[in-house]
Amino acid sequence: MQPFAVRHFRLVLFLGSIGVLILSVVHVGVGTVALTPIEVIAALVGQPYEPFHRVIVWDLRLPRTLIALLVGGSLAWLELFCRASCVIHLPSQK
C-alpha cells in the first residue's frame, strides 16, 4: 500500500499551500507594530485601516516574506537534486 501523501497528493498539496498562505499572513503581521491578520489582508487588498499599514505591509514585511519563501523553496529543490544525484547504489543482497 502506498503512503498517504502519495495516495492523496492533491489534498496534501492543497492543504500545504493553504498552510503556507496562512503562515505568510501571520508572518507579515508580526513585528514591532503588530498587525492582526484582518489588518494585513486589508492592507494587501488596498483598503488599510491606517495609512501606515500599507507602508508596513507592502514596503517592509511582504518583501521579507517573499524572499524567505523563495530561499526556502530554493533550498528544498537543492536538497532534492543533491539527494537524487548522490544516491549510492548498493549491490542487491541475496
pTM of the model: 0.78
Find where cell 533550498 sits: 75
What span, in angstroms and rounded, lies between the C-alpha atoms of 46 and 26?
Answer: 18
pLDDT tens string, the chain, 94 residues long: the values are: 888 878 899 999 999 999 999 999 999 999 999 999 999 999 999 999 999 999 999 999 999 999 999 999 999 999 988 888 877 666 666 5
Q: How far is CA 79 from CA 6, 9, 16, 66, in A?
A: 20, 20, 19, 20
Q: How far is CA 21 from CA 26, 41, 69, 75, in A?
A: 9, 11, 10, 19
